[in-house]
Amino acid sequence: MPALSFREYLNIRCGWSLKPATLNDILHGRVDFPYGEHRPLVYYKDYCKTGFYPYFLEGDAPIRLENSVNSTVEIDIPVYAEMTVAAAAKLKKLMYILSKSVPYKPSNDTLGRDLGISRNKVPDYIEYLTKSGLFNALHEPGHSDNLLTKVEKLYLGNSNIAQALSEDGLIDS
């Protein structure tokens, strides 16, 4: 599921009708905010914690996020990639390993050994996690963004996922 922008979050949370604006417009004060007594940045901390997905509308946002992440790792990716149950478990273990140290500089040899898979399969697993939006990959400078280029660093997809993983231990090893 695509994440909400801060503007979209404010529109839903506050009932505002903010229109998209360019960075240049914002920096030059050409955007009117209907904030009354509150500036939009008052809401930014909540957005970073629980606002990337519309789960914040209900009281169980962390549980819903946990269920979505688990569903993506345990069902969606394995079905898409035609993985076996054992491979899906290794994908979940990879998610656990990567989430414990972000940004993570992947080593295909080390990850392959830790997961019990060929080092040649590691880039595929990383690609599945990045295409799902759970992680973002930073590739070596000057190279195209494809499977054949080396991933320099991996970051969690957004701060809501980071929050859920760090506080709740979302992914079990």
Position 121 confidence tier, pLDDT thresholds 50, 70, 90? very high
Render pLDDT for 75-114 as a digit per residue (tens, 0 to 9).
999 999 999 999 989 998 988 888 887 788 889 999 999 9
Which amino acid is it at 133? G
Q: Which CATH class is domain 61-168?
A: mainly alpha
Residue by residue, DSSP assigns 36-52 as TTS-GGGGHHHHHHH-S
Contact yes or no for 129/168 (Cβ under 8 A): no
Q: Tokens 């920096």 label which residue? A: 27
What pLDDT does 129 receive?
93
What pLDDT does 82 receive?
95
Token duo for residue 154: 């991996």
What pLDDT does 166 receive?
66
Give the residue extent of every domain in the chain: 6-57, 61-168
Contact yes or no for 47/149 (Cβ under 8 A): no
Which pTM value belongs to this model? 0.79
